């Protein structure tokens, strides 16, 4: 009986020849991640342990990105705690305002995540790095503390679900539409504590930004992680961004999967997740209501990358945001911001009546830069649309791709380009 990609990576990092689903292991860590919300809790836990320093100053990344630039006194105190810890322990990969970005876009860009790594982060969307063939998963702040102190973490080896992707997406269908389709198909607990393993010839028709988006939202299906095979596109990305050595793992032919699905990418349509769960999906063709909106957010660790901004700008070029609609665009990192500026994308957004923010998670979690009032509706390229996620408990969030979000901003209602 063979192993999946995830199982092979975990076995190697546990020093074992073989692991099976359900087995408890202790694995060595290549990277431990925290942000301005979760790191202060982990730091306080480390203080209780009476640990002298961290296991490896180069293998910890601290990225203040949720409430920065500081929204208020409390967020400033959180960032101060992280900053002082980083300086005290000489953390190499601490990214202050001006250098930082949204963590799950920043770390691959900085070359800190590569194929074959085992990565934990005190943020549920740490599963993003599976796009590069790494095992990466979100953990609690206590596990982050233990990881920073010891360089190890306990895991229960996950079972797996295989998604065979075939065909080529139609115009305006992106990675966001693919993962929303999958979540709508299997539900928010359809992959509970499973590894979502993507395979098939259709992967070659997905950009790296598409893959980051899909892996990012594995957690929205309950997945322990999402992971893609390492092909030429992934290798090219790593060679461009990283100096780290990487290891390519491939699933065995006789690997065991709990379920298998085949998804024809060419048959998919732009998809929207209605309130208040990511599984509550409809294609744009199935939306019969005239859903007027108040706000559009284009950004986040899911869809704030360069391809996302290019798509949004293509839709908004020569048009204008509808009267009364707030359209907020948030490039995910400083490098993406700079490239978008050089390509004229920011000019397109501003001429269309949108505003452009410094990199931040901001509105995704109801932080700032776009809080919703009672009764307001938002079309957002973020990853969660839970009750009260972006503000008032009686507001509504509709998850969509950058193309649908931009078209909706112009129409003043949910629309497709």
Report pLDDT digits (tens) over 234-248.
999 999 999 999 999
Helices (runs of H) and strands (runs of E) counted in the chain: 13, 18
Cα 185 from chain centroid? 20
In b/e form, how buried is each residue of 317-347, taking b as 16+ CB within 10 angstroms? eebebbeebbbbbbbbbbbbbeebeeeebbe
User: Exposed, middle or buried, 374 (CB in 10 Å: 0-12/13-18/19+)?
Assistant: exposed
Q: pLDDT (tens digit, 9 = 90+) per residue, 337-371?
A: 999 999 999 999 999 999 999 999 999 898 899 99
Q: Would you say the C-alpha torsion 381, 385, 388, 389 has a positive or negative sign? A: negative
Q: What would the mean pLDDT of 317-341 be, rounded to a whole number?
A: 97
Closest CA to 363 of 67, 34, 36, 40: 67
Q: C-alpha angle 156/176/248, rounded to 5°?
A: 45
Give 106-138 as a 3 state SS string.
HHHHCCCCCCCCEEEECCHHHHHHHHHCCEEEE
Mean pLDDT of the chain: 95
Tell which residue, 312, 412, 295, has the closest CA to residue 362.
295
- Cβ burial of 305 (10 Å; 0-12, 13-18, 19+) is buried
Q: SS in 3 state form for 361-414?
A: CHHHHCCCCCCECCCCEEEECCCCCCCCCCECCCCEEEECCHHHHHHHHHHCEC
Per-residue model confidence as pLDDT tens digits over 260-293:
999 999 999 999 999 999 999 999 989 888 889 9
Q: What is the pTM of this model?
A: 0.95
Query: How far apart are the C-alpha atoms of 138 and 122, rounded to whole Å?
Result: 6
Coil, helix or strand for 311?
A: helix
Asked if residue 387 has pLDDT above 90, the reply is no
For 160-215, the pLDDT digits (tens) are 999 999 999 999 999 999 999 999 999 999 999 999 999 999 999 999 999 999 99
Dihedral pair phi/psi, residue 102, rounded to 5°: -70, 125
């Amino acid at each position: 009986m063979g192993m999946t990609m995830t199982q092979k990576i975990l076995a190697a990092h546990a020093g074992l020849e073989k692991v099976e689903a359900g087995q408890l292991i202790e694995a060595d860590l290549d990277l431990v991640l925290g942000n301005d919300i979760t790191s202060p809790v982990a730091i306080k836990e480390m203080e209780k342990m009476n640990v002298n320093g961290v296991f490896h100053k180069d293998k910890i990344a601290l990225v203040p990105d949720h409430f920065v630039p500081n929204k208020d006194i409390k967020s400033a105190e959180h960032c101060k705690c992280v900053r002082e810890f980083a300086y005290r322990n000489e953390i190499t990969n601490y990214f202050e305002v001006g250098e930082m970005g949204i963590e799950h876009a920043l770390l691959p860009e900085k070359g800190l995540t590569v194929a074959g790594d085992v990565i934990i982060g005190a943020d549920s969307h740490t599963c993003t790095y599976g796009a590069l063939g790494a095992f990466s998963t979100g953990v609690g702040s206590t596990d982050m503390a233990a990881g920073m102190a010891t360089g190890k973490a306990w895991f229960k080896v996950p079972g797996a679900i295989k998604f065979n992707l075939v065909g080529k997406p139609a115009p305006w269908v992106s990675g966001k539409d693919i993962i929303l389709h999958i979540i709508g198909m299997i539900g928010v607990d359809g992959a509970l504590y499973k590894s979502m393993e993507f395979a098939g010839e259709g992967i070659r028709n997905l950009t790296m930004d598409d893959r980051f988006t899909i892996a990012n939202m594995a957690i929205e299906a309950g997945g322990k992680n999402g992971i893609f095979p390492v092909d030429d596109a992934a290798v090219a990305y790593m060679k461009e961004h990283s100096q780290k050595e990487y290891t390519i793992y491939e699933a065995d032919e006789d690997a065991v999967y709990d379920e298998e699905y085949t998804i024809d990418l060419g048959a998919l349509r732009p998809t929207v997740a209605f309130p208040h769960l990511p599984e509550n999906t409809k294609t744009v063709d199935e939306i019969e209501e005239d859903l007027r909106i108040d706000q559009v957010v284009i950004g986040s660790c899911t869809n704030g990358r360069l391809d996302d901004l290019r798509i949004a700008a293509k839709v908004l070029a020569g048009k204008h945001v509808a009267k009364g609609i707030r359209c907020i665009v948030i490039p995910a990192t400083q490098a993406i911001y700079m490239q978008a500026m050089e390509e004229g994308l920011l000019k397109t957004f501003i001429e269309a009546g949108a505003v452009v923010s410094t990199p931040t998670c901001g509105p995704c979690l109801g932080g700032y830069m776009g809080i919703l009032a009672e009764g307001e509706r938002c079309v957002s390229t973020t990853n969660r649309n839970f009750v009260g996620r972006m503000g008032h408990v009686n507001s509504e969030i509709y998850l969509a791709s950058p193309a649908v979000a931009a078209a909706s901003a112009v129409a003043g209602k949910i629309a497709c380009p």
